[in-house]
């Protein structure tokens, strides 16, 4: 999707919400060498490199890569598909991230080959972190109002794919309640004025509410994102 002025969105409430998503991902990573598959505009790669990770990003969409290189010129972003990863890159990464990318791989790519390549790129025992939209009634309604059409990859499908491809799940959590819908993300309506103190108050409240709902076991029905961290078993690694 062609998104106008993504840099403006990242300077608004959405930037704080996106940063929180990046923080949650960073907490789950293992090792320093990280590949963000489907990196989009590169905010996660930039965030991780600022915290000492050897992070890089790949994306199959040329327009997104062009924007990422403008927004974060020092971040290594490549126009590459995960399915085209080379055998010579075997074991090159400690962690791989699919941030809002799994549903695109499921709908638009060869998902079996994608997971085969992920398994090859990870070192033995390496970690895969998946975070993707949680298709609740609220998310679907918001997409309808914004006229935003996107495929879905529910948490149950993600867990099935991980199990099939040799991953042991370490953690499943849900997050994101009010911040994303109020900010509009990249594509939706921004419902609040772009005032710094208001943005920070909403982001803080969103974090506390998300954590509370997840601890209470209500995240599956109310949160807009799920996150899974899983480790590749040695038997599930490259054959």
Tell me the mean pLDDT per 10 residues along the chain, length 239: 75 95 98 97 97 98 95 97 94 97 96 96 96 92 82 96 96 96 87 95 97 97 97 63
Place of tokens 């940063």: 19
pLDDT for 235: 52
pLDDT for 236: 46
pLDDT for 89: 94
Distance CA 190, CA 10 (A): 12
pLDDT for 193: 95
Element (H, E) at 98: strand 93-99
Domains delineated in the chain: 6-132+148-174+224-236 (3.40.50.150)
The 10s digit of each residue's pLDDT in 162-213 is 999 999 999 999 999 999 999 988 878 889 999 999 999 999 999 999 999 9
Name the phi and psi angles at 12, rounded to 5. -115, -165
Among candidate residues 27, 43, 201, the one with its CA nearest the CA of residue 129: 27
pTM strictly above 0.75: yes
């Amino acid at each position: 999707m062609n998104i106008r002025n993504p840099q403006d969105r990242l300077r608004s409430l959405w930037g704080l919400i996106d940063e929180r998503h990046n923080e949650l991902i960073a907490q789950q990573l293992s090792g320093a060498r990280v590949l963000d598959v489907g990196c989009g505009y590169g905010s996660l790669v930039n965030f991780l490199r600022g915290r000492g990770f050897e992070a890089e990003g790949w994306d199959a969409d040329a327009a997104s890569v062009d924007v990422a290189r403008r927004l974060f010129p020092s971040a290594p972003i490549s126009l590459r598909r995960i399915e085209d990863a080379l055998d010579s890159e075997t074991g090159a990464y400690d962690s791989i991230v699919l941030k809002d990318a799994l549903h695109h791989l499921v709908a638009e790519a060869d998902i079996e080959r994608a997971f085969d390549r992920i398994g090859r790129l990870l070192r033995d025992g390496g970690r895969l972190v998946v975070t993707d939209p949680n298709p609740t009634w609220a998310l679907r309604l918001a997409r309808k109002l914004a006229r935003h059409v996107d495929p879905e990859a529910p948490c149950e499908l993600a867990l099935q794919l991980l199990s099939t491809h040799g991953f042991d799940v370490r953690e499943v959590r849900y997050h994101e309640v009010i911040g994303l819908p109020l900010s509009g993300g990249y594509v939706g309506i921004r419902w609040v004025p772009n005032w710094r103190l208001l943005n920070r108050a909403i982001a803080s409240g969103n974090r506390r509410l998300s954590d509370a709902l997840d601890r209470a076991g209500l995240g599956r029905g109310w949160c807009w994102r799920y996150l899974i961290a899983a480790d590749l078993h040695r038997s599930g690694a490259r054959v």
